[in-house]
A and B are shown apart, each in its own frame.
Chain A
């Protein structure tokens, strides 16, 4: 085993696949999918957590010893709401980690860069490890990094769209420039999309819909785990890239061998 670990904040992870929990048909399928994915980070929407009905709660289906429970602020429309949710979660015993989602638009759930920045600032000052969900905006990423965010989480395409990586050029720049881990979040609809992100050099991917709504979520979780690993390995092995050097159609080639 090589020691290719992912470090976020003060923790290290073997797996580079993060899992979202929003759309599973049951808590049991969710739990099995988490196991099959080998993930070590699971995000949970705070608005779904019912502290008054702990027996039904999805939190009980996630093994908090081996897995980092990453509360997210889904539903928050502005910085204030996101900060309130994050603090509430910490007061209720969650770790000081938060996936920051500020999505005023209920249709495409696109992140609000201004409010995300504002909330990140407050939460970092408050001692949180902040993992912000954002559009694939390289400049915003640098700002968030300077602020002290633990990662940046740019989207591949809108949440739940399963369209894969539609923000490739910007993701490439983000990955090239980032000093913190880049987690490609949202829109990854097939294992090949996850592999693509990892081949590009992303540090990790986050998947929810594609696994949760697959006909066989557990098998799909396994497929994503493999694809993420394969993509990572390909990146580390050094993809040849599409260089022109060995291109048979090179005009030089013909000239020199004849």
Chain B
């Protein structure tokens, strides 16, 4: 498991690699087909700035070659904001005295109906992390009810045991998203002062438990703005490649959530600029050529339209980040504020305008 591999990565050494890369390393990385972690570090370093055009071009070409001119569309469905964790940066943090909701299956189906009517066939079930409300049974039963309407159902909930993922997979769930948030163990303890999430290693091994439990796609990510962005990105890249090498049947996806203002007023420690985020997306395309790269509505419309051709293959649109948000039209209780608030049709049109096809269905429940 990766929790056994991770301690052997000398973080200081990795940091010195990051600090020492220069423009020559960027040039080398641009020439290579198979990049190593030093190449990755070079591509996200300040030394890469003068080459940004060239890097973006290569990332674009590779993406088009591997994925075509297509963007897979998905929507998140928040089923609960109950959470037992105390993540300092999150509005759902159990210490925040906010209203809590758990959608009944009926309410979740109402939200799902709105999402389906907008054209989505790929759905991501999201919740805070409180197994008293949302557990594998709740999710499994819901997935069975949703199955006819959606061709792909993913979960972004608390880490489960392998048996939990197996159960979900039997109910029709095909993918799992779990962000490590940061690979800096000290910072990890600091921002996760309470709750089960404090267990760094349990979270670290979650993608593998998912893969072993039958999930076809596992999504990784760090919360950009929390830790040192270069170090976290390098660790994420290593983790992604480890999964690809050790679970050859599993597809890996990488998301790029930038820390946003949330209930509780947490300020990012290391804010990530647009330019840095662009470099990250390109570097992941070049380093993990076949990974699905995901961009959510946390990013502004303008930014999303500008960067998606540089490596993104999957996007959400019209998202609501509060339970019941689709059917109630109520924006309170959001987990984070959505920046790209354009309608689904508007986003799809913007994708088409750039010569891409917005793909709504690229999976079939018969495959699970």
Quick one: which of B119, B244, B360, B367 contacts A85, CB cutoff 8 A?
B367
Taken together as a complex, chains A and B put the C-alpha atoms of A84 and B368 apart, in Å, by 10
Q: Are B361 and A48 in contact (CB under 8 A)?
A: yes
Query: Digit string of B349-365 for contact with A (CB within 8 Å is 1, else 0)?
Result: 00010011101111110
Q: Verify A47–B250 contact, CB threshold 8 A.
A: no
Quick one: CB contact mask for B324-368 with A, threshold 8 Å, 1 for yes?
000000000000000000000000000010011101111110110
- CB of A252 closer than 8 Å to a CB of B: no
A212 at the binding interface (Cβ < 8 Å): yes
The B interface, classified by DSSP as helix, strand, loop or mixed, is loop
Complex Cα–Cα for A61 and B246 (A): 40
Nearest neighbor of A85 in chain B, beta-carbon distance: B366
Q: Residue-by-residue, is A7-29 near B (CB-CB < 8 Å gives 1, otherwise 0)?
A: 00000000000000011111100
Contact across chains for B360 and A23 when beta carbons are under 8 A apart: no
A178 and B211 alpha carbons, distance in the complex (Å): 39
Stretch from A102-110, A167-175, A239-247 forming part of the interface with B = A102-110
CB nearest neighbor in B for A210? B65
A56 within 8 A of B: yes
The answer, yes or no, to whether B162 is at the interface (CB within 8 Å) is no
**Docked-complex contact A75 and B69, CB < 8 angstroms:** no
A46 at the interface (CB under 8 A from B): yes
A25 vs B355: C-alpha distance when bound (angstroms): 6
A95 close to B (CB within 8 Å): no
- Judge whether B132 is part of the interface by a CB distance below 8 angstroms: no
Q: Kindly provide the distance from the CB of B313 to the nearest chain A CB, expressed in whole angstroms.
A: 11
Does B68 have its Cβ within 8 Å of any Cβ on chain A? Answer: yes
Minimum CB distance partner of B217 in chain A? A106
Does A53 reach chain B (CB closer than 8 Å)? yes
Contact across chains for B363 and A75 when beta carbons are under 8 A apart? yes
Chain B contacts of A25 at CB under 8 A? 68-70, 355-357
Number of A-B contacts (CB under 8 A): 86
Q: Which residue of A lies closest to B61 (CB)?
A: A213
B49 proximal to A (CB < 8 A): no
Chain B nearest Cβ from A141, distance in angstroms = 24
B67-121 with Cβ < 8 A to chain A: 67-70, 119, 121
Which chain A positions have C-beta within 8 A of B151? 47, 50
B68 touches which of A22, A53, A85 (Cβ 8 Å): A22
Cβ contact within 8 Å between B361 and A50:
yes
Question: Could you say which of B64, B68, B217, B363 contacts A47, with CB atoms under 8 Å apart?
Answer: B363
Known: A23-B64, A50-B360, A212-B69. 8 other contacts (CB 8 A): A56-B360, A75-B363, A75-B367, A81-B366, A88-B366, A107-B251, A213-B68, A213-B69
Chain B contact residues, CB within 8 Å of chain A: 64-70, 119, 121, 151, 216-217, 244, 248-251, 290, 352, 355-357, 359-364, 366-367
Interface residues in chain A, defined as those with a beta carbon under 8 Å from any beta carbon in chain B: 22-27, 45-50, 53, 56, 75-77, 81, 84-85, 88, 104-108, 160-162, 209, 212-213
18 residue pairs of the A-B complex, CB under 8 angstroms, read A25-B356, A47-B361, A47-B363, A47-B367, A48-B359, A50-B121, A50-B151, A75-B363, A81-B367, A85-B364, A85-B367, A104-B248, A107-B251, A160-B66, A162-B65, A209-B65, A212-B68, A213-B65
